[in-house]
Amino acid sequence: MTASKTQAYALPARAGLGLKPEHYETVLANRPDVGFFEVHAENYMGAGGPPHRYLEAITELYPLSLHGVGLSIGAAHELDKAHLKRLRGLIDRYRPQSFSEHLAWSTHDTGFLNDLLPLPYTPETLARVIDHVDETQQALGRRLLLENPSTYVLFADSTIDEVDFLATIAERTGCGLLLDVNNVMVSAVNHRLDAATYIDRFPVELVGEIHLAGYDETVDDAGDRLLIDAHGTAVKSDVVALYQHTLARSGPLPTLIEWDNDVPDFATLQAEAARADAMLAAEALRRNGQRIRAA
């Protein structure tokens, strides 16, 4: 295993939480037993102030996952060099145990569109994304984890299956993958696919981190179920079950609880993390048990 791989996998196989400004003080005062914290890189791109002061203090105590939401890796146009430089600055400053970004685009000529937008899966887009991942890893001097998206529409032009698309990017660039189990559920329901099959085909050996979140539910114009990746509630029971299914294949992996909207009190977040931690521990135990029986 290369040094960069070791670094990418250095988050503990525990449940982690998104670090929110309203919880800075609680975390520092109570030092809760949380496996790691994750922050959105763009929220720490100011020059100074309380965000950096708190993040410095908290990274003294916990492993850090740096999660980018604005690099626009799936964009047709070139990557924003200034943004890559800002990311490099954060990585050099905080030495996060993991850095991840999305298979999506968010910037266009009109500016930053502030959403993770979908792209068609074609040989052309595959080549584009591979170039962008290569460039990113080069600029940041480390491996990144690329996250599977949640999507609401399909592209008539797509010719490549999403799992194959991600696996090929990983194979060609050496990047790892971030498996968002909620995104799998959202996309599977929205596109009438089987979520468990998606997980069964996913190259779990390349996964450095799992995301869990809560979705919202509505219907589209035809009355079909439409799940929205909302990050504003606890993880839904079908996603918990799919996570269980994932762990049985992948073994214990660092698992983030994403709760970015209507953020609850810290105790509620901790309860969500505790549920994932219990499942991670049970999976570790199950595997150890198998090993003992085999011996």
Which residues contact another protein (rule: CB under 8 A)? 42-43, 45-53, 69-72, 75-77, 80, 82-83, 105-115, 117, 119-120, 124-125, 127-128, 152-157, 190-193, 218-222, 224, 226, 228
Least Cβ distance, residue 241 to another protein (angstroms): 22
Q: Which of 232, 285, 226, 227 is nearest to 257 (CA)?
A: 232
The partner residues of 228 in beta bridges, in order of sequence, read 216
Task: Give how far Cα 112 sits from Cα of 42, 45, 101, 105, 108, Å.
Answer: 12, 15, 16, 10, 6
Least Cβ distance, residue 255 to another protein (angstroms): 25
Least Cβ distance, residue 113 to another protein (angstroms): 6
Q: Rank residues 220 and 265 by Cβ distance to another protein and give the closer one.
A: 220
Q: Rank residues 21 and 289 by Cβ distance to another protein and give the closer one.
A: 21
* Exposure class string for 245-277: b at 16+ Cβ within 10 A, else e: ebbeebbbbbbbbbbeeebeebeebbebbebbb
Least Cβ distance, residue 269 to another protein (angstroms): 20
Least Cβ distance, residue 226 to another protein (angstroms): 6
Q: How far apart are CA 176 and CA 147, in angstroms?
A: 9
Q: Rank residues 75 and 253 by Cβ distance to another protein and give the closer one.
A: 75
Residue 249: enclosing H or E segment and its boundaries? helix 237-250
Q: Rank residues 10 and 263 by Cβ distance to another protein and give the closer one.
A: 263
Q: Rank residues 107 and 270 by Cβ distance to another protein and give the closer one.
A: 107
Listed in sequence order, the residues at least 6 apart from 68 whose beta carbon sits closer than 8 Å to its beta carbon are 40, 41, 42, 87, 99, 100, 101, 102
Least Cβ distance, residue 70 to another protein (angstroms): 2
